[in-house]
Amino acid sequence: MSGVPPDVRTAQTQAAQTLGRYGPPNVATVVPSAVQAERVYAGLVTRALAFALDAAIVNGAAAIVGVVVGLGLSILHLPEEADIVVAAVLGALWLLWTVGYFTFFWSTTGQTPGDRVMRIRVVDGRDRGSLRPLRALVRFGWVIVAAIPLLAGFLIMLWDDRRRCLQDRLARTVVIEAPAEARPGSLRR
């Protein structure tokens, strides 16, 4: 160290003493971990857009089936009682399709197609794992209840630190932002 000026030597010594006193910087403060990334909760607008996309998918598929069945039955000239029965059966199938759609996606990947587009995911509020089918079904039931009083069950998320709606509180879930998944062969910059 003889060729180093005294002021540089002093700065190097002070830096070494400071590093020795406080240790190396904590890696968790420099690079956010996956757990910290999961703590970003989805907001009202993101969740509303995802739900609108899902509603378009559910109702679009139901409309296509309804048109096809209606055109097919129009050729047969069924009595009015049969038309009423067919309409009731189609209504019940639409209800099963809607419930099954949300229950299936929430219990398998935690993301409906609308959630995937908006990059959010429904997870267990405690361990961040995926939901079981019964819990996903219960959550969907609470979604209906949350919508009844002029959407007040959804608006309570504005005052919650984890942005939980009524269905999230009662089903013990949270909706988090999900990072985009890297596809094989794609370049990320």
Query: Is the confidence at residue 13, as pLDDT, over 90?
Result: no
pLDDT single digits (tens) 71-91? 999 898 889 899 899 999 999
| 135: in domain | yes
* 16: in domain: no
Under 8 Å CB-to-CB from 120, ≥6 apart: which residues? 42, 46, 47, 50, 111, 175, 176, 177, 178
Query: Per the structure, how many domains does the chain have?
Result: 1
Q: What is the mean pLDDT of residues 4-19?
A: 56
CA-closest candidate to residue 46, choices 58, 54, 38: 54
161 domain residue, yes or no:
yes
Cα separation, 176 vs 178, whole angstroms: 6
Is 81 part of any domain?
yes
* Residue range(s) defining the domain that contains residue 104: 41-177
Task: Give pTM, 2 decimals.
Answer: 0.75
Structural domain includes residue 188: no
| 163 assigned to some structural domain | yes
